[in-house]
Structure 1
Amino acid sequence: MGRLVMVVWLFVLMVITSSYTANLTSILTVQQLSSPVTGIESLISSDWPIGYQVGSFAYSYLQENLGIKPSRLVSLGSPEEYEKALRQGPNKGGVMAIVDELPYVELFLSKRTDFGIIGQPFTKSGWGFAFQKDSPLAVDMSTAILKLSEDGKLQQIHDKWFCNLSCPGERIINAKINQLHLISFWGLYILSGAMALIALLVFLLRMVRQFVRYKRREMNSASSSSISSSSHCSHIVFNFFNFIDEKEEAIKKMFAQFENRRTDASSET
C-alpha cells in the first residue's frame, strides 16, 4: 500500500512539476516578447519609427501637436502593409507602432490576434454623419443611434464586425483564464487524497485483524499451557498501538511462536 501511495504521489508531482515548468517558460517568453511601448508618451520620448495611414489626419497630429519629427513617420496604405511593417520591426525597416484612428485599428485587429492596442486613446474626437443644414435626417439619425446605444444593439453591431476572432479586452481575459492555478489540479488532489485514505483504512483494518488474531492466540496459548509456561505469558501485555509499531516480520515471528507453543502444548497433553 505504501508503494501504491508513493506511485500516485510521484504521478501528481510529475504533473505539477511539468505544468509549473511550462507556465514559467510561457511567462518568461511573454515577458521577452512584450513590447517596450507603453503608450504615446513612450513613442514621443524615443527614436523609433512610427507608422500612420496614408491620408489620415494622424500625420499632421503627430507632427504638429505631439512634436514628432517627420523623418520618424512612415506612411502605410493597407492592412497588409501594417502587418508587414509591424512584423519587421524598427531594426529591419519596419515600425515600432502604428498610430491610427480607433475604428481602423479595431478592424485591423479583428483578423489578427497576435497584435494588440497599447495604452489608452489620446484624442477625444469621434466620427459623425454630415447632413445638409436643417435636414430632417439629422434628428432621425441621432435618435436612431441613441436608441441603438440604449438597447445595447450598437455594442452588438460593434462586436459582430470588429470582434470576429476576439476583441483586445477579451484576449486579456482569456489569457488570465487559461493560466493554471492550484485549483486546476483538484482532480489530482482528490486522487492522491483518496488513495492515501484508502491505504490508511486498509492498513488499519489489517492491523485490527492481526491484533485480534494475536490476542486470541495469546489467550489460547495461555490457557493451554498455564501449568508449564504461565510465567512466560502472564506478564506479556500488548495494546493496539504497540502492536502497530511492530514490523511485519516481527508480527509473523510472533504468530509463528504462537503456533509452536500451541503445537508444544498439544504434544504435552
Structure 2
Amino acid sequence: MTISSILAISDPTEATDGFADTMLGVARIFDAELTLALLAPAPVAGERAYPKHLTTQRFNELVEAKEKRLWSVARKENCEVRIFVDLVDAALSAMVRQSRCHDMLLVGPIDTFADAELHRMLLQKLLLLSGKPILLLPPAGLEGRPRRLAVGWDGMREVTRALDCALTLCASDAEIDLISVLPLTAPPTLRTPAEDMCTRLQERNLSARQSLARAEHASVAATLLAQAVAGNADLIILGGFGHSPIRESVFGGVTDEVIRNRHTTPILIVH
C-alpha cells in the first residue's frame, strides 16, 4: 500500500489552527497529496450543538473564518480544501464517503477539537465505515518515517491489517515490538500470541521481537501504551474495535480508551 493521498480533518474552531502545519509535515514525510477537511455540524434548535451551546450566528462566524484560514494554508501549499457543513449525522456520513477516496486519514488529538464528543463520534464513524487507516497524531506530530514500532498484538484481523499498513509507512531499518498484554491471572505459557508473527517478520529480514506485559492495576490500553512509551516507540499500532463499539463504550475497551484520552506518541489504528 502506497500513501499518496491524505485527508486531514479539523473542526471549525481555532483549536485546530496550529495543527495544520503538523498535518502538512506528515504529508511531506510520505510525499503525499494533502486535502484539508473541515467538519462543521450545524446547530439545530433543541438539539446538541458541537461545541455545546453554539448559536447559529456564532457557528456561521466560526465556519466562515475557519474556511478562510484553511484556504490561506491551501493556496500556499497547493492543497485542496473540502467543507462538510450539515446536520451532525449527515456531515459525518459525508466525511466518511470522502475518506474512502484517500489512502490515510489524519486526526489530531482530543485537544485539537473544541468538542470531545464530536472527536469521538468522528473517529468511531471513520474506523467502522471508512475502510482506511487512521493516524492519530499527538501535538508534536510525526518527525519522520517511524523506526520503532510498538504493536498491540492479539492476533486478530484488525491488528493484522494495521501492521500490514504500518510496514508500508515505516523506515526500512524499523524495529518492531509485538506486545501481548495478558491479564494478571493468565497462566504462564511457553508461547506468546505474537511468536508466530514475529518469526514471519524475521523471515522477511525485518527486526522483530515479542514482548509480554501483564495488566495488573491498569487497563489493557494503559498497560500497552505505557510499555510502548517506555520503549521509546515512534509509532503505536492498534487494531480498532475488535469488539463492537457499543460494548466497548459500555464495558470499556482498548479502542474506546485510546479515542477518549490524550496521547504523546502517534497511533495508527485500523478496523
Tell whether the structures are fold-level matches, with TM greater than 0.5.
Answer: no
Give the structure with the higher percent strand.
Answer: 2
Larger helix proportion, structure 1 or 2? 1
- For the aligned pair, the TM-score class normalised by the smaller chain equals under 0.3
TM-score (norm 2): 0.21
TM-score, length basis structure 1: 0.22
Give the greater-gyration-radius structure (CA).
1
